[in-house]
Amino acid sequence: MMNVLCDGRRKMPQGSKREYGSYCGNYTFDGTMLTTYVDDSGALLRAAGPQGAVRGRAHDPGGERAMETRELAWERLSPLSLQEKEDKMNADAKKTVLRMIPYGIYVLTADDGKGNIAAATVNWVTQTAFAPPLVVAGVKTDSGAYQVIKGAGTFALNMLGKDQKSLAFTFFRPADVKDGKISGQAYRQGATGAPLLIDAPGAVECRVTSIVEQGDHHIVVGEVIEAHLNKPPGGRPDAAILEMKDLGDNVFYGG
Ligand SMILES: Cc1cc2nc3c(=O)[nH]c(=O)nc-3n(C[C@H](O)[C@H](O)[C@H](O)COP(=O)(O)O)c2cc1C
Protein backbone atom coordinates (compact mmCIF):
# COMPACT_ATOMS: atom_id res chain seq x y z
CA MET A 1 0.00 0.00 0.00
CA MET A 2 1.35 3.44 -0.85
CA ASN A 3 -0.03 6.95 -0.83
CA VAL A 4 -0.09 9.05 -3.93
CA LEU A 5 -1.21 12.57 -4.68
CA CYS A 6 -3.69 12.80 -7.51
CA ASP A 7 -4.63 16.07 -9.10
CA GLY A 8 -8.20 16.86 -9.98
CA ARG A 9 -8.76 16.62 -13.72
CA ARG A 10 -12.38 16.67 -14.82
CA LYS A 11 -13.91 19.79 -13.42
CA MET A 12 -17.53 19.35 -12.44
CA PRO A 13 -20.16 21.96 -13.39
CA GLN A 14 -20.70 24.89 -11.07
CA GLY A 15 -22.93 24.03 -8.18
CA SER A 16 -22.04 20.33 -8.20
CA LYS A 17 -21.39 18.62 -4.90
CA ARG A 18 -17.84 17.80 -5.99
CA GLU A 19 -15.38 20.12 -7.68
CA TYR A 20 -13.70 17.40 -9.76
CA GLY A 21 -15.09 14.22 -11.25
CA SER A 22 -11.78 12.48 -11.73
CA TYR A 23 -8.25 12.67 -10.47
CA CYS A 24 -5.00 11.77 -12.14
CA GLY A 25 -1.52 11.14 -10.77
CA ASN A 26 1.85 10.11 -12.11
CA TYR A 27 3.99 8.14 -9.71
CA THR A 28 6.28 5.21 -9.41
CA PHE A 29 4.85 2.03 -8.02
CA ASP A 30 6.91 -1.16 -7.63
CA GLY A 31 9.61 0.44 -9.75
CA THR A 32 7.16 1.21 -12.56
CA MET A 33 6.11 4.70 -13.62
CA LEU A 34 2.33 4.71 -13.64
CA THR A 35 -0.34 7.11 -14.67
CA THR A 36 -3.57 6.42 -12.87
CA TYR A 37 -6.98 7.87 -13.31
CA VAL A 38 -9.44 7.50 -10.51
CA ASP A 39 -13.02 8.58 -10.30
CA ASP A 40 -14.31 10.66 -7.50
CA SER A 41 -15.07 7.76 -5.23
CA GLY A 42 -11.45 6.65 -5.41
CA ALA A 43 -12.18 3.59 -7.51
CA LEU A 44 -9.59 2.94 -10.15
CA LEU A 45 -10.45 3.80 -13.70
CA ARG A 46 -7.15 3.06 -15.35
CA ALA A 47 -3.52 2.46 -14.43
CA ALA A 48 -0.92 2.16 -17.12
CA GLY A 49 2.87 2.10 -17.26
CA PRO A 50 5.62 1.10 -19.65
CA GLN A 51 5.20 -2.53 -18.61
CA GLY A 52 1.51 -2.45 -19.46
CA ALA A 53 -1.56 -2.00 -17.39
CA VAL A 54 -1.36 -2.80 -13.72
CA ARG A 55 -4.38 -4.01 -11.87
CA GLY A 56 -5.07 -2.30 -8.59
CA ARG A 57 -7.51 -0.43 -6.44
CA ALA A 58 -7.27 3.10 -5.13
CA HIS A 59 -8.79 3.97 -1.78
CA ASP A 60 -9.69 7.53 -1.03
CA PRO A 61 -9.18 8.34 2.62
CA GLY A 62 -10.54 11.82 1.87
CA GLY A 63 -14.00 10.40 1.40
CA GLU A 64 -16.59 12.73 -0.02
CA ARG A 65 -14.55 15.92 0.30
CA ALA A 66 -14.13 17.93 -2.89
CA MET A 67 -10.60 19.24 -3.41
CA GLU A 68 -8.05 19.77 -6.08
CA THR A 69 -5.58 17.23 -4.79
CA ARG A 70 -6.48 14.00 -3.15
CA GLU A 71 -4.27 11.61 -1.36
CA LEU A 72 -5.09 8.12 -2.48
CA ALA A 73 -3.77 4.89 -1.11
CA TRP A 74 -2.86 2.55 -3.91
CA GLU A 75 -2.87 -1.15 -3.39
CA ARG A 76 -1.68 -3.65 -5.92
CA LEU A 77 -4.17 -6.42 -6.53
CA SER A 78 -2.30 -8.59 -8.98
CA PRO A 79 0.95 -10.11 -7.67
CA LEU A 80 4.20 -9.20 -9.39
CA SER A 81 4.92 -11.57 -12.25
CA LEU A 82 8.08 -13.71 -11.94
CA GLN A 83 9.64 -11.63 -14.71
CA GLU A 84 8.84 -8.37 -12.85
CA LYS A 85 10.35 -9.86 -9.67
CA GLU A 86 13.49 -10.89 -11.51
CA ASP A 87 13.79 -7.43 -13.08
CA LYS A 88 13.54 -5.83 -9.64
CA MET A 89 16.07 -8.22 -8.04
CA ASN A 90 19.35 -6.65 -7.01
CA ALA A 91 21.88 -8.28 -9.35
CA ASP A 92 24.87 -7.70 -7.05
CA ALA A 93 23.08 -9.17 -4.05
CA LYS A 94 21.99 -12.19 -6.09
CA LYS A 95 25.57 -12.80 -7.23
CA THR A 96 27.11 -12.44 -3.78
CA VAL A 97 24.48 -14.47 -1.95
CA LEU A 98 24.62 -17.35 -4.46
CA ARG A 99 28.41 -17.33 -4.16
CA MET A 100 28.04 -18.08 -0.44
CA ILE A 101 27.18 -21.68 -1.41
CA PRO A 102 30.34 -23.76 -0.84
CA TYR A 103 31.44 -26.13 -3.60
CA GLY A 104 33.86 -29.00 -4.03
CA ILE A 105 35.78 -29.39 -7.28
CA TYR A 106 35.48 -32.53 -9.43
CA VAL A 107 36.48 -33.77 -12.86
CA LEU A 108 33.44 -35.20 -14.60
CA THR A 109 34.39 -37.78 -17.23
CA ALA A 110 32.49 -39.85 -19.78
CA ASP A 111 33.16 -42.03 -22.81
CA ASP A 112 30.37 -42.61 -25.34
CA GLY A 113 32.12 -45.64 -26.87
CA LYS A 114 32.25 -43.90 -30.26
CA GLY A 115 35.59 -42.23 -29.78
CA ASN A 116 34.29 -39.25 -27.82
CA ILE A 117 35.80 -38.76 -24.39
CA ALA A 118 34.90 -35.90 -22.05
CA ALA A 119 36.69 -34.59 -18.98
CA ALA A 120 35.51 -31.30 -17.49
CA THR A 121 36.08 -29.62 -14.16
CA VAL A 122 32.72 -29.03 -12.49
CA ASN A 123 31.53 -27.72 -9.14
CA TRP A 124 27.73 -27.87 -9.32
CA VAL A 125 27.53 -31.31 -7.74
CA THR A 126 25.76 -32.84 -4.75
CA GLN A 127 24.38 -36.14 -3.44
CA THR A 128 20.57 -36.16 -3.36
CA ALA A 129 19.51 -39.62 -2.08
CA PHE A 130 20.83 -42.55 0.01
CA ALA A 131 18.73 -45.28 -1.58
CA PRO A 132 19.47 -45.54 -4.36
CA PRO A 133 22.60 -43.42 -3.97
CA LEU A 134 21.98 -40.50 -6.31
CA VAL A 135 24.17 -37.58 -7.26
CA VAL A 136 23.38 -34.64 -9.51
CA ALA A 137 25.61 -32.42 -11.59
CA GLY A 138 24.72 -29.18 -13.38
CA VAL A 139 26.23 -29.54 -16.86
CA LYS A 140 26.57 -26.77 -19.43
CA THR A 141 24.35 -27.64 -22.39
CA ASP A 142 26.76 -26.25 -24.99
CA SER A 143 29.76 -28.13 -23.62
CA GLY A 144 31.35 -31.15 -25.22
CA ALA A 145 30.92 -32.96 -21.91
CA TYR A 146 27.13 -32.65 -22.06
CA GLN A 147 26.93 -34.34 -25.47
CA VAL A 148 29.28 -37.15 -24.46
CA ILE A 149 27.41 -37.83 -21.19
CA LYS A 150 24.10 -38.01 -23.04
CA GLY A 151 25.58 -40.39 -25.59
CA ALA A 152 27.29 -42.53 -22.95
CA GLY A 153 24.42 -42.75 -20.46
CA THR A 154 27.09 -43.01 -17.78
CA PHE A 155 29.71 -40.76 -16.22
CA ALA A 156 32.31 -40.66 -13.49
CA LEU A 157 32.96 -38.01 -10.88
CA ASN A 158 36.64 -37.86 -10.04
CA MET A 159 37.25 -36.16 -6.69
CA LEU A 160 40.18 -33.75 -6.62
CA GLY A 161 42.45 -33.57 -3.57
CA LYS A 162 43.37 -30.38 -1.72
CA ASP A 163 46.74 -30.27 -3.49
CA GLN A 164 45.35 -30.77 -7.02
CA LYS A 165 44.54 -27.18 -7.96
CA SER A 166 46.54 -27.42 -11.20
CA LEU A 167 44.47 -30.45 -12.25
CA ALA A 168 41.30 -28.39 -11.83
CA PHE A 169 42.69 -25.75 -14.20
CA THR A 170 43.75 -28.45 -16.69
CA PHE A 171 40.14 -29.55 -17.16
CA PHE A 172 38.58 -26.09 -17.46
CA ARG A 173 39.61 -26.43 -21.11
CA PRO A 174 38.16 -28.99 -23.56
CA ALA A 175 39.74 -32.42 -23.02
CA ASP A 176 42.56 -33.43 -25.34
CA VAL A 177 42.98 -37.21 -25.67
CA LYS A 178 46.48 -38.20 -26.81
CA ASP A 179 48.94 -41.05 -26.20
CA GLY A 180 46.48 -42.85 -23.93
CA LYS A 181 46.13 -39.78 -21.67
CA ILE A 182 43.47 -37.11 -21.20
CA SER A 183 45.00 -33.65 -21.27
CA GLY A 184 48.27 -35.24 -20.13
CA GLN A 185 46.66 -37.18 -17.25
CA ALA A 186 46.89 -40.95 -16.93
CA TYR A 187 43.57 -42.75 -16.66
CA ARG A 188 41.99 -46.16 -16.78
CA GLN A 189 38.54 -47.23 -17.92
CA GLY A 190 35.99 -47.87 -15.22
CA ALA A 191 33.24 -50.51 -15.25
CA THR A 192 30.96 -48.04 -17.07
CA GLY A 193 33.67 -47.17 -19.57
CA ALA A 194 34.07 -43.71 -18.02
CA PRO A 195 37.70 -42.58 -17.62
CA LEU A 196 39.01 -42.70 -14.03
CA LEU A 197 41.91 -40.36 -13.34
CA ILE A 198 44.73 -42.36 -11.78
CA ASP A 199 45.81 -39.41 -9.60
CA ALA A 200 42.33 -38.66 -8.21
CA PRO A 201 41.97 -39.72 -4.54
CA GLY A 202 38.54 -41.20 -5.29
CA ALA A 203 35.85 -41.52 -7.92
CA VAL A 204 32.28 -42.71 -8.32
CA GLU A 205 30.81 -44.14 -11.49
CA CYS A 206 27.19 -43.39 -12.27
CA ARG A 207 24.40 -44.45 -14.57
CA VAL A 208 22.38 -41.51 -15.86
CA THR A 209 18.82 -41.99 -14.59
CA SER A 210 17.38 -38.70 -15.85
CA ILE A 211 18.27 -35.26 -17.10
CA VAL A 212 16.32 -32.23 -15.91
CA GLU A 213 16.33 -29.90 -18.87
CA GLN A 214 16.05 -26.40 -17.43
CA GLY A 215 18.26 -23.37 -17.88
CA ASP A 216 21.66 -23.11 -19.54
CA HIS A 217 22.93 -26.07 -17.49
CA HIS A 218 20.91 -29.25 -17.26
CA ILE A 219 20.79 -31.35 -14.12
CA VAL A 220 22.21 -34.77 -14.83
CA VAL A 221 20.96 -37.27 -12.25
CA GLY A 222 23.21 -40.27 -11.77
CA GLU A 223 22.86 -43.42 -9.70
CA VAL A 224 26.19 -44.37 -8.15
CA ILE A 225 26.99 -47.93 -9.24
CA GLU A 226 30.74 -48.10 -8.51
CA ALA A 227 33.07 -46.36 -6.06
CA HIS A 228 36.87 -46.24 -6.11
CA LEU A 229 38.93 -45.09 -3.15
CA ASN A 230 42.48 -44.62 -4.41
CA LYS A 231 43.78 -42.62 -1.47
CA PRO A 232 41.86 -43.01 1.82
CA PRO A 233 41.62 -39.64 3.56
CA GLY A 234 43.38 -39.22 6.93
CA GLY A 235 40.55 -37.27 8.56
CA ARG A 236 37.09 -36.21 7.46
CA PRO A 237 36.53 -37.15 3.79
CA ASP A 238 35.13 -33.70 3.03
CA ALA A 239 38.29 -32.08 4.43
CA ALA A 240 40.34 -33.85 1.75
CA ILE A 241 38.50 -32.37 -1.22
CA LEU A 242 39.64 -29.39 -3.27
CA GLU A 243 37.14 -26.56 -2.89
CA MET A 244 36.20 -23.53 -4.94
CA LYS A 245 37.70 -21.23 -2.32
CA ASP A 246 41.08 -23.01 -2.74
CA LEU A 247 41.25 -21.92 -6.41
CA GLY A 248 41.90 -18.25 -5.64
CA ASP A 249 40.10 -15.10 -4.52
CA ASN A 250 38.63 -14.40 -7.95
CA VAL A 251 37.59 -17.84 -9.15
CA PHE A 252 33.85 -18.50 -8.99
CA TYR A 253 31.29 -20.47 -10.93
CA GLY A 254 27.93 -19.33 -9.73
CA GLY A 255 26.25 -16.12 -8.73
C1 LIG B 1 35.52 -22.64 -11.60
C2 LIG B 1 34.78 -23.36 -12.70
C3 LIG B 1 33.76 -24.24 -12.38
C4 LIG B 1 33.02 -24.88 -13.40
N5 LIG B 1 31.96 -25.66 -13.06
C6 LIG B 1 31.20 -26.20 -14.04
C7 LIG B 1 30.04 -26.95 -13.74
O8 LIG B 1 29.66 -27.13 -12.58
N9 LIG B 1 29.35 -27.48 -14.78
C10 LIG B 1 29.73 -27.31 -16.09
O11 LIG B 1 29.05 -27.81 -16.99
N12 LIG B 1 30.82 -26.59 -16.40
C13 LIG B 1 31.56 -26.04 -15.42
N14 LIG B 1 32.66 -25.32 -15.74
C15 LIG B 1 33.04 -25.21 -17.15
C16 LIG B 1 33.80 -26.46 -17.61
O17 LIG B 1 34.96 -26.68 -16.84
C18 LIG B 1 34.18 -26.28 -19.09
O19 LIG B 1 33.02 -25.92 -19.81
C20 LIG B 1 34.66 -27.52 -19.71
O21 LIG B 1 35.80 -28.00 -19.08
C22 LIG B 1 34.97 -27.25 -21.18
O23 LIG B 1 35.11 -28.42 -21.84
P24 LIG B 1 34.03 -29.08 -22.82
O25 LIG B 1 33.26 -27.98 -23.49
O26 LIG B 1 34.85 -29.87 -23.77
O27 LIG B 1 33.17 -29.95 -22.01
C28 LIG B 1 33.39 -24.67 -14.75
C29 LIG B 1 34.43 -23.81 -15.07
C30 LIG B 1 35.09 -23.13 -14.07
C31 LIG B 1 36.19 -22.16 -14.45
In 3D space, the residue among 181, 231, 178, 166 whose CA is nearest the CA of residue 202 turns out to be 231
In 77-174 the beta strands, taken as DSSP E runs, fall at 106-111, 117-122, 125-129, 134-140, 154-159
For a pLDDT cut of 90, what percent of the chain falls above it? 64
Atom of ligand 1 nearest to the CA of 125: 8
Q: Say how many CA atoms lie within 13 Å of 44 toward its Cβ.
A: 19
Cβ(217) – ligand 1 distance below 6 Å: yes
How many angstroms separate the alpha carbon of residue 59 from the centre of ligand 1?
54
Domains and CATH numbers, the chain: 2-85 (no CATH), 96-247 (2.30.110.10)
Q: Is the pLDDT of residue 59 over 80?
A: no
State the Cα–Cα distance between residues 26 and 191, nearest whole angstrom. Answer: 68
Distance 18 CA to ligand 1 centre (A): 68
Identify which has the larger pLDDT, 107 or 83: 107
Radius of gyration of the chain (CA): 30
Residue 25, pLDDT score: 58
Å from CA of 234 to ligand 1 middle: 29
Q: Whole-number mean pLDDT of the chain?
A: 82
Question: Would you state the pLDDT for residue 6?
Answer: 53
Write the residue with the smallest CA distance to atom 2 of ligand 1.
Answer: 253
Residue 104 pLDDT level (bands cut at 50, 70, 90): very high
CA 38 distance to own-chain centroid: 40
Instruction: Look at ligand 1, atom 7, and give the residue with the nearest C-alpha.
Output: 122
User: pLDDT-derived band of residue 101, with 50, 70 and 90 as boundaries?
Assistant: very high
CB 72, CB 4: distance < 8 Å: yes
From the CB of 145, is ligand 1 less than 6 Å away?
A: yes
d(CA 253, CA 106): 13
The pLDDT tens digits for 10-50 are 666 777 655 665 555 555 555 554 555 555 554 544 455 44
Instruction: Tell how far the Cα of 121 is from the centroid of ligand 1, in angstroms.
Output: 5
Q: Please, how many CA atoms are within 13 Å of residue 218, restricted to the half-sphere of its CB? A: 16
Q: How much is the pLDDT for 89?
A: 82
Q: State the closest ligand 1 atom to the C-alpha of 121, by its place in the atom list counted from 1.
A: 17
Find out whether the beta carbon of 182 lies less than 6 Å from any atom of ligand 1.
no
Q: Cα 180–185–189 angle (5° rounding)?
A: 55
pLDDT for 27: 52
pLDDT tens-digit series, residues 139-198: 999 999 999 999 999 999 999 999 999 999 999 999 999 999 999 999 999 999 999 999
Q: Quick check: 120 pLDDT over 80?
A: yes
Q: Is the pLDDT of residue 225 over 70?
A: yes
